[in-house]
Structure 1
Amino acid sequence: MTIESEIRQRLVESFAPTRLEVVNDSHKHAGHSGDDGSGESHFSVLIRAEALAGLGRVARHRAVHKALGDLTVRVHAMAIDAG
């Protein structure tokens, strides 16, 4: 299973989002710091879910990080747009 599909699966299971976009941006960072050559080092996530709606920005990000668990340390960078 790819990291991208694991991200998607964990977020769907945790939040049942109404909108979810997981984009692998690793190709934009090839050769840069943090590029481990795996092609799965940088991601962007856009998530909209009722479970996140009442939380502040920091709390939403913490909830996403908690849902992703060990995946957050397996990638170099992850941009999160949660609401």
Structure 2
Amino acid sequence: MNVAEEIRRRLQAAFQPRELDVQDDSAAHRGHAGAPEEGQSHFSVRMRADSLAGQSRIQRHRAVHAALGSDLVARVHALALDLDG
């Protein structure tokens, strides 16, 4: 399973979002410091989930990082999050 699919699977399981879009932006960062040649390092996530309603931006980001788990977060160089309830 590639990293984008793993991100999507973990977020779907944790939040049951009504909208979830995971983009692999790695190709745009090829050659930059911290970007491995094989890619799968830079991602953008847009998610809308009722369980995030009423949470601050920091709380939403922490919830996503917890759902992804430290093992997956450690493999990702950059994760842009657009989250809302």
TM range (shorter): over 0.9
Match of 2:43 in 1: 43
Alignment of 1:40-79 (within 5 A): 40-69=40-69, 70-79=71-80
Moved more, 31-40 or 5-14: 31-40
* Alignment of 1:4 onto 2:15: no
TM-score by structure 1 length?
0.97
Alignment length, in residue pairs? 83
Q: Which runs of 5+ in 2 are unaligned?
A: none
* Alignment of 1:19 onto 2:19: yes
Letter aligned with residue 53 of structure 2: A
- Percentage of pairs with the same residue: 54
Alpha-carbon offset, residue 36 of structure 1: 1.0
Q: Which runs of 5+ in 1 are unaligned?
A: none
Letter aligned with residue 60 of structure 1: R
Structure 1 segments, 4+ long, off by >4 Å, are: none
TM-score by structure 2 length?
0.95
